[in-house]
Each structure stands twice: as C-alpha cells, then as structure tokens.
Amino acid sequence: MPAHAHLNLLGWVSLFLFGVYYRLHPALEASRLAMTQIVVWCVGTAFLTIAVAALHLGYAAFEPVAAVSSLLVFGALALFTLLVFRSGKLAQSVTPAMTAAE
C-alpha cells in the first residue's frame, strides 16, 4: 500500500498538475528545462516506488535507493518551483499597464 500511495501521488497527481501548469504556460511547455524536470521527476518516482515497496517487504538494502530517489524527486520539485517563479516574473514584465480610460 505505501508504494501504491507513492506511485499515485508522485506518478499521477503531481504529473497531472505539472502538465496543467505547463499547458497554461506554453512558453514553458516547450522549454528544455521543463522536459528535464519531468524526466528527472519520472525517474525519481519510478525508483522511489520500487524502493518503498522493497523496504516494506523487508529488503533493507534498498534504503540508499530510496534516499537518492527522494533527493531526485525533491530536486525536480525545486526545478519546477524555479520555473514557476521565473515564468511569473516574465509574465509581470510583459503585461502592459492599464490606463484609467481602459
């Protein structure tokens, strides 16, 4: 069950939210950095799910795999956060100021 929960939250829900955000910001969707973020997230999620399942089955040797894959997922999340804040700054600098007559 813990591996199933990790796979659902990290593999489906989070990727869905990333996809929605990227679809709403087409300039980001086409960037290499966004693709890198998604690939790192997918690799980290796959290894984390396998490691969590192995740990709950009693294979203590998978603890380093879980730790490294958790760091990969965290790094991908940090990269997404960077992309979000950078796209927000770009949108603010491009948005024209409205005058009182408008």
How far, in Å, are 4, 54, 87, 97 from residue 65 at the CA level? 17, 10, 33, 50
The answer on pLDDT for 8 being more than 60 is: yes
Residue 94 has a pLDDT of 47
What is the pTM (predicted TM-score) of this model? 0.77
Q: Which residues contact 83 (CB under 8 A, 6 or more apart)?
A: 28, 31, 33, 34, 37
| 97 pLDDT higher than 70 | no
Place of tokens 């770009």: 90
The answer to whether residues 40 and 79 touch, using CB atoms and an 8 Å cutoff, is: yes
pLDDT at 58: 92
- What is the predicted pLDDT for the residue at 4? 74
Q: Read off the pLDDT of residues 38-73 as tens digits, 9 standing for 90 and up.
A: 999 999 999 998 998 999 899 999 999 999 999 999
Q: What is the pLDDT of residue 12?
A: 83
Q: Which two tokens stand for residue 67?
A: 């730790």
Q: Which residue has the tokens 């939250």?
A: 9
Residue range 66-93, pLDDT digits in tens? 999 999 999 999 999 999 998 766 555 4
